[in-house]
Every structure is written in C-alpha cells, then in structure tokens.
Amino acid sequence: MGKLREDRRPGKELTGLLLFVVFTAVLGSLQFGYGLGVINAPQEIIEKHYSRVLNVAQNETTAANLTQGTKRVKHHSVTIYWTLSVSVFCIGGMISSFFVGYLADTLGRLKAMLVVNIFAIVGALLMGIAKMGPSHILIIAGRAITGIYCGISTGLVPMYIGEVSPTSLRGAMGTMHQLAIVVGILLSQVLGLDFLLGNDRLWPCILGLSGLPAILQIILLPFCPESPRYLYIKLGKEEAARKSLKRLLGTSDTDQHIEEMKKEKEEIQKEKKMTVMQLFCSSTYRQPIIVALMLHISQQFSGINAIFYYSTAIFKQANLLHPVYATIGVGVVNIIFTAISVFLVERAGRRSLYITGMAGMCCCAIIMTVGLVFQVSKIERQNREHRTLQALRPSMLRQPVEPI
C-alpha cells in the first residue's frame, strides 16, 4: 500500500507523453489568447484603413481629450465597424459554446479538436486577406468564425486536459489552459509593435497568424491518445482505456485508475438525466449551479476583458509616452502570476487562490474607477477653459491698438 501511494506522487505520474499531450491541447488556448489580444495594438491603423475603404474622412471637428487637449473625432461608421470587429469575436464564442458537450461526446475529445480547427484556419485566412477586399467585412467575418472556434476550443481543452491528467496533477495541468491564454495575449501584443507587424503594411499578417497554432495542433493531435475517461465511461471500451492510460502514465499498472473510473461511471448511471430547466429547479443542484454561475460571472465582470481589448487606448488616454509597451507590461505581469498559480494551486487550494485573486481585482477596479473620475474632471475643466478662451477671443480682437 505504501508503495502504491509512492507511485501516485505527482513526480512519478508526470511523463514526457503527458507533457506533450497537454502542450498540444493548450495550443487551442494559445489561439484563444491571441484572438483576444491581437485586435488591441493595431487599432488606429485598422481604423484608418476602414476610413479609406469606406471613403469617409476623419472628422476635422475637435473634442477635448485628456492627452492632447483636442483630438480628431472618428466617423460614426468607422466606430460602428470597429466595435463589431471587436465584439463579434465574443458573440461567435458565446453561440458555439452551447455545442461543446455535443461535439465532445459525439466525435470524441481528439476528433472534436481536430474538426473545429477548420474554423480557426478559415477565420485566419479571411483576416489575412483583408487588404484585398472590403476589409471591414472580411475582418468581422474572420473574427466571428475565429470566435466560433474559440468558444468550442475553450470548452474542449480543459475537458481533455482534466481527463488525461492524473488526480495528483489535475490542478497544475488545468492551469496550463490559462497560462497558454495569457501567453497568446502577450504574443499578439509583442507582434503588434510598429517595427514588427503592427504597421500599415503588415497589419493583415498579425491577424492571419492566428491560424498557425491550429495548423500545428492538427499536425500533433494524431500522436496524442484519446481520453481514457471518455473511452471507458462514455464508450465502455475498457481495453482501449487501459491502452491510453499505459501510454499516458508510462506504466502497465492501470487497475487503480480503471477502478476509479468504474466508480465514477456507476455514480453517473445512478443519476437520472435532467434538462437544463430541471437542473436549475432542483434543490439538490441549486448550490453547485449558483457557485458555478458566480465563478463565471465574477470572472467576466472583473473588467479584465476590457483591459485585453482596449488597454492601448486606455494607456494612451493616461498620457503615457509608449502605451503599447505598457500593454505588453500588462501581459508580462499576467504570465508571471499565472505561472505562479501553477505551483500554488495544489498547495494553497483553488478556493483560497480564487478569493485572493478576486480581492486583488476588486482593489484594482476601485483604483481604475477613481482614475476615470479624475480623467472626466480634467476633460470637463479643459472644455470650460476652451469655451472661455473662444468667448474671449472676439473681444480681444476688437480692442483698439494704442499708438506708441
């Protein structure tokens, strides 16, 4: 018994193939992160291109601004198309997320990840050729299709990683999904620098590169084993599940893992199937449903998505000399603390880390709110000064010039 416990330690169960499998799976998460951040840095350049394609000039009317006192106001059609370019990514992901369970159970985890990569490649191609046609239409369509891919992928990747990872490593391996997302965000921000791809000549390349992780994943996925839990619990293929476990764990002793899955399958079979409405109405599942919903709501309403999409514009309004580099700094901090969580998740626990993270985000949100209040106050003061100056200018011009 002591020897068995020794063999179940994290270091004993971490094999080369398991690392390879997790790396291959999180390429989908890398693509999701890249899609989140790629639209941020080249915003001004793409908006100017939209103006040329739509044949509308930037409005010469000026408005007060925190950074320069005045700025050119964008044409309303450019604003609408840019807003769609950003938000349609989330709309596509929201719609496609409803089909994650169906695809995962029908095709299997591996085949589902292979198939949905088609969306990633098609979306990347549309954005990569944006300069050759109506760029606003191609980018919006490409972002929507990429969002469809990301909505499915962000469900499949954690599911597959959780099922192939041993219990002792499940927490650490699960955080690799988030780590890959923040790496993708940082990568898109770095490539968005002016001297790399974030310029008027190469900006379609930075959008089109979002398909590369999908191509790499298509090449590597055939070398990965299917989820043993899916094979045993869903399909009832015990021998196939044992074979998958042997490859993943590098050992022929799979009896205890099979026994765990057997108990899990028995528990699932005891539970009656329920509709979504019954799930929300059942008193048995009410607390888990509330906890799950609050976790996701707190994450989405934390404000981090606004930072991912508009951090460059926010830092520019804050009068920073190089706002793009500040955005990259945000990405670096994101990666550092996500990497730290990989090592802390099994020791500190999920709940403690989540509460700590949300408390920190709450403090940051308060600080940002205070900063925005000061920003609005400064803009209003500048507007008053501008109006006063405009009112005084005619009277100053009418004053007679006294002879010397």
Asked whether residue 112 carries a pLDDT value surpassing 90, the answer given is yes
Look up residue 67 and give its amino acid. Answer: T
Q: Given this model, what pLDDT does residue 394 score? A: 63
d(CA 347, CA 373): 40
Q: Are 8 and 166 in contact (CB under 8 A)?
A: yes
Count of beta carbons in the 10 Å neighbourhood of residue 307: 20
**Average pLDDT of the residues in 370-378:** 77
Average pLDDT over residues 185-206: 86
Distance of alpha carbon 226 from alpha carbon 45, whole angstroms: 44
Tokens 């690799």 correspond to 176
Flag the least confident range among 211-225, 245-259, 321-335, 387-401. Answer: 387-401
CA distance 243 to 357: 40
Helices (H), 129-197: 135-164, 170-191
Higher pLDDT, 287 or 349: 287
In single-letter form, the type of residue at position 47 comes to E
Tokens 């979306």 -> residue: 123
Whole-model pTM: value is 0.76
Question: What percent of the chain is modeled with pLDDT above 90?
Answer: 19
Averaged pLDDT for residues 43-56: 83
pLDDT average, residue stretch 341-361:
80
Taking a C-beta distance cutoff of 8 angstroms, is the pair 317, 376 a contact? no
Give me the chain's average pLDDT, please: 81
| N-terminal to C-terminal alpha carbon distance within the chain | 108
pLDDT for the residue 3: 42
CA atoms of 79 and 54, how far apart (whole Å): 12
The whole-angstrom separation of Cα 193 and Cα 134 is 24
Spatial distance between the Cα atoms of 228 and 256, rounded to a whole number of angstroms: 13
